[in-house]
Structure 1
Amino acid sequence: MLTSSFVLGSTSHGFNGGDMLFQLVMFIILLALLKKFAWGPLMGIMTQREEHVANEIQAAEASRQEALKYLEEQREIVKQSRTEAGQLIENAKLQGEAQREDIVNQARLEAERVKESAKREIVQEKEKAITALREQVASLSVLIASKVIEKELSEADQEQLINDYIQEAGEGK
């Protein structure tokens, strides 16, 4: 009969403080090892990841702000371009209107010049015609006077003579 109090593998129903103390020491050692080899590096990786994400968020926000600034600049440029285009169109209209007025005024001046030139020409031609008529009348008067001197005519003969000379003058033209 074996009556030993300590048997390996036997179960005892009593409280064993040595085992518990051993497990507690092993648990503390395991926690210290985990803290040193697993928890520290894991927390370092998590901190690095957190910093990386924070930097990416800051970079994205900076990019967004820059894009908004660029968008506003582009809108302002488009607005200025539209304003300049409107001014160019208005200036072109004003220049076109001024040119039209200038052309109309030049045409009026040219028409006045032609009209005045035509009037002067008409006056000159009229004066030439009057001068020619006076010369013809003078020559006819001299001719009539010479004929009258040659013969003394009756009133009927004088009228006949004047009518004949008027006809000759009309045919001579």
Structure 2
Amino acid sequence: MESLGFNGTILAQMFNFLVLLILLRAVAYKPFMNMLEKRKQLIESSIAAAEEDKRQAEALRASLQADLQRARQEAAEIIARATKNAEDQAQQIIEAAKAEATRVREGALADIQREKEKAVAELRDQVATLSILVASKIIDQKLNDDIQKDLVNKFVKEAGDLPC
């Protein structure tokens, strides 16, 4: 064993180690670092793209929710309009039925009034005829046409003033 003297092997090993480090730096370290940098950039771009996709998805979701809300409002408005139209139609039908009932009632009242007037006229004629017969039997004489007409008119007038 040599004492602490100069050993050429150690110097050669150090020189070899330095050459190896330079070679590794030139051959392996720079490409490895470049690969790591590219990988880092790829990951960052993927994260940025994912965040952009997330932002777009949120915007799309908000847009779809707004569209859904508008569709619900439009559906509610359509239902409200349909309900109002149905109520209006029902009211029109009711009014038409009331008008028809009124018209039928008025027609019936008019028919009743006509029949009443007809009955009163017939009754007046019968009363006049009976009055003439009674009067002729009471007087037991023949009346001439003028006297008979005057008596009938007077009797009809008096009978017309009576409540029926």
CA distance in 2, matches of 1:30, 1:15: 26
CA drift of 1:65 comes to: 0.5
The answer for the alignment partner of 1:4 in structure 2 is none
Residues 1-173 of structure 1 mapped to structure 2, 5 A cutoff: 11-148=1-138
Gaps of 5+ in 2: 142-164
The answer for the alignment partner of 2:148 in structure 1 is none
CA-based RMSD: 2.2
Q: TM-score, normalised by structure 1?
A: 0.72
CA distance in 1, matches of 2:81, 2:35: 68
Gaps of 5+ in 1: 1-10, 152-173
CA distance in 1, matches of 2:46, 2:17: 40
Range with bigger deviation, 51-60 or 21-30: 21-30
Task: Give the aligned length.
Answer: 142
Counterpart amino acid of residue 8 in structure 2: G
CA drift of 1:14 comes to: 2.6
CA distance in 1, matches of 2:138, 2:129: 14
SS of residue matched to 1:12: coil
Counterpart amino acid of residue 40 in structure 1: K
CA distance in 1, matches of 2:9, 2:106: 139
CA distance in 2, matches of 1:120, 1:12: 153
SS of residue matched to 1:141: helix
CA distance in 2, matches of 1:71, 1:14: 79
CA distance in 2, matches of 1:79, 1:15: 91
Q: Percent identity?
A: 35
CA-to-aligned-CA distance 1:105-129 (integer Å, 9 cap, x gap):
2122112111111111011001111
Decide which structure has the larger Cα Rg and report it. 1
CA drift of 1:70 comes to: 1.0
CA distance in 2, matches of 1:130, 1:104: 38
CA drift of 1:30 comes to: 0.5
